[in-house]
Amino acid sequence: MPTEDELFSAVDALLEEVAQDDLPSPEERKRLREAAGISQEQIAKALKSRRETVGNWESGVTEPRPPKRAAYARLLEGLAQRFPAQGDNTPAAVGASADPAPVVPEAFTDPGAGPEPTPPALPATPPARPAPSRSAKPATASSRRPGAQSAVAKKTTTAAPADPRFENGPLAVIDCEEGQVSAYCVGGLVLDVPAKSLPALVDWTLAEARLGQARLHRNGRDADPILVLTASALERYGLPADLSEQERRHGRLADSHKVVKQIARAGLQLTQRGLGPWARVFREPEGSQRRCVQLCVLPWNALDTREWGRRDDPRLLLTMHPADLARYLGLYAARVMTPRGSTATTGLELMVALRPPTRAEKDPATGEFKRAFNDDALTARYDVVECEVPDEHPVLRGRFARHHLRTPAEMLMEEPYDWCRPLTDEECANQFLVAIDINMSFAAAANGLTVGLDGPTHLKDNPAFDASLPGSWLVDLSHVDLSRVPVNGRTVDGDRLPSPFTPKGDRPEGPAWYATPSVAYAVELGYEVAPIEAYVRTRTGRYLDAWYKRLRDAYIETMADMGVTGGLGGEEFLAAMARRKQVDPTMALLETAIKATAKGGIGKLRQRSRGQVPYYEEYPALKRETWRPDIRAAVLANQRVGLHRKLMKTAAAADLYPVAIGTDAIVYPSPGPTPLDILPLTPEGKPAPGTFRLGVSPGMVKHQGTQTVLWAEQQYEEHGGVFNIANLVKTDQSAGEGE
């Protein structure tokens, strides 16, 4: 005969089974609790759960599971008897919602593919089901780490995703506390994670988490969900707190590690990069749909402090509360895109996401869809040009001696300014040196720039220059004399300005390779040019326009969140810029990441070997269609000549000349400590046309810092002559060089 305890256990199990379908609606659960004056913390304590879990039950994001479900149902039933719904005193009324849940298309999984992207899938019409409502983490939530701030207590500008497949946002920060694994999503949402192993975590993400981001272009593909693993999550899932020296050198966990073997046994796969700081774990695609999850391992330096954090606080990202980190990365994903690695990698991926190389095209004969190439994108690898590639490129094997330094006639040297000159006696009479900095100068230079989209065409035998053809031109510009140049009716002393044709500001000495914008500027200044030969691209387009606009909007929106807007006057703008990082520290991090994305994305177009292979051997970046050093050179040339135009206009308007330029920072001698003391204005009080203007938009300038002339003279004496002080004149010493 069964004992009484066994019978009671069987009855309890039956009650739990019955309780699966008799819970009140999420709205009614919240109403009953508030009517009784009970807090979520009290319920969580009684049920041995967490307050965030109770909040998710009340919002419908998650449902309680046995054995807590039966106890929760019993509590709600008792509350319903004491606090019946208005207009109905029967307990049965508690079981139904006053308004039916809206019916929306069911979220269908966007599964992961292998290491290489697959063509975008055609949208299907999925079955319908009610969409669970979102949960906002209550503003009363307390941080679980000392000094952390609650993410939901701040203004969140990210709009909720419209795509029901990704209703929980693009990413989640996985953290473990007191044995409970939680996924912190955007908007303060916290999900309970039942997975007990890393493969189970990946499968849970693909099946239940509803994470990801919709494509940025109709011909692109949706972004894979990202899981950011904290130190506690690594411990929970059996991963080491840090990589060994050998593993760091290889950038991945050893294949013999038990977690890597777990992944293989579960039928999951890793890309060739393995399980490193940024790893992709995937199952075989279902048709053309991806089933892939990207892991961002925070303690393994996945988020480089120089790009994502603060230089003066390298442990900031490791100590941020998971909710704050989810807010930060979620905002970046919403305004730029879901991170794909470093900011430079993400910047390059953003170009591809906004200008996808392929599209689905219907074959009129068969009615089937096939892959077609887009005319406005980079769609293939082409032959490289010797003068455009860096020194270690395989095409240069046997061409020069091992330590030969190529000359401007052998190499395209389009780089930003690195120039400085001594102060004149008249300039030394000023008390200050004021540095101004161009906002997102490389992104601004990319805007409206025509670049080549196909392979090079070699023009021989002294071709005529054509400014409409992007490429590289071998031409002698040593005859361009800018010592006395008329600008707006005034003569500018060009000897106090750098040459626009060399990064060091020296006058060219003979034939050299230049990108099209540099040669076009010589023509604009009124000089004849006679190219010797050229490599040009005949299929052209403004490939970077959409990329620039996306980053511009992200930057302006982020600055507005810190109180820096476009309508501010000079004094107001300077004051707002000075206090912006204290207004919202998370937005300050976002500003840094956006600027690093713009700069790094351009640099990735000519990514160099990282030393993992010998000289003159293929390295992975060379296999990309987006490895285009000619496009990078065009952007940098356009940035430098655009800066020179403003230097000329400023000199003509105010007889004002720089003493140093570092990338996009310009140093002027000044009688006062702010840019307002030097930037020229019209009689009406507006910025002089064509000169530098204070403002928040890309291409406008801000105050980088101020030093004294005496300080500059001391620097010159200490370093034994003239050196570039541009990047030392800054208010925020933790800021990086340029942008």
- Per residue in 52-92, pLDDT (tens digit) is 788 888 887 778 877 788 888 888 888 888 888 765 443 33
Q: What is the pLDDT of residue 135?
A: 35
pLDDT in tens, 645-679: 999 999 999 999 999 999 999 999 999 999 999 99
275 contacts 240 by C-beta, under 8 angstroms: no
pLDDT higher than 50, residue 29: yes
Does pLDDT of 114 surpass 50?
Answer: no
Residue 694: which region, alpha, beta or left (left: phi > 0; alpha: psi -120 to 50)? Answer: beta
Confidence class for position 1, pLDDT limits 50, 70, 90: low
pLDDT band at 143 (very low <50, low <70, confident <90, very high): very low
User: Residue 79: which residues within 8 A CB-CB, separation 6 or more?
Assistant: 32, 33, 35, 36
Which stretches of 65-126 are assigned E, i.e. beta strand?
A: 103-105
Which band of pLDDT confidence, cut at 50, 70 and 90, is reported for residue 6?
low
Residue-wise pLDDT tens digits, 275-333? 999 999 999 887 777 899 999 999 999 999 999 999 888 899 999 999 999 999 999 99
For a pLDDT cut of 70, what percent of the chain falls above it? 85
- Tell me: the pLDDT tens digits for 704-737? 999 999 999 888 888 776 688 998 998 655 454 4
Percent of the chain with pLDDT over 90: 65
- Mark residue 98 as left, alpha or beta (left: phi above 0; alpha: psi -120 to 50; beta: remaining): alpha
Question: Which whole-number Å values give the CA distances from 267 to 195, 293, 481, in the listed order?
Answer: 16, 14, 68
Q: How far apart (Å, rounded) are the C-alpha atoms in residues 185 and 225?
A: 11
Mean pLDDT (the chain, rounded):
85
- Mean pLDDT for the stretch of residues 350-375: 92
Pick from 16-20, 168-172, 536-540, 694-698: least confident: 16-20
- The pLDDT, as a whole number, for residue 161 is 44
Confidence at residue 5, expressed as pLDDT on a 0 to 100 scale: 59
Long-range contacts of 115-120 (CB under 8 A, 24+ apart): 115/271, 115/272, 115/280, 117/221, 118/221, 118/285, 118/288, 118/290, 119/288, 119/358, 119/360, 119/371, 120/215, 120/219, 120/220, 120/221, 120/288, 120/356, 120/358, 120/359, 120/360
Beta strand 171-177 with 226-229 is: parallel
- What is the average per-residue pLDDT within 243-269? 93
pLDDT recorded at residue 727: 82
> What is the pTM (predicted TM-score) of this model?
0.79
pLDDT in tens, 506-545: 999 999 999 999 999 999 999 999 999 999 999 999 999 9
In this predicted model, what pLDDT tens digit does every residue of 575-596 receive, in sequence order? 999 999 999 999 999 999 999 9
Give the per-residue pLDDT at 469: 97
* pLDDT at position 401: 85
Q: Which pLDDT score is estimated for 64?
A: 84
Is 80 exceeded by the pLDDT of residue 100?
no
Whether 11 has a pLDDT exceeding 90, the answer reads: no
pLDDT tier for residue 157 given thresholds of 50, 70 and 90: very low
Output 50 or 404, whichever has higher pLDDT: 404
What average pLDDT score do residues 674-689 get? 93
User: What are the pLDDT digits (tens) for 187-225?
Assistant: 999 999 999 999 999 999 999 999 999 999 999 999 999
Beta strands in 48-145 (DSSP E): 103-105, 128-130
Structure tokens at 480: 């361009």
Question: Tens of pLDDT along 380-415?
Answer: 999 999 999 999 999 999 999 878 899 999 999 999
What SS3 class is residue 222? coil
Q: Which residue has the higher pLDDT, 297 or 51?
A: 297
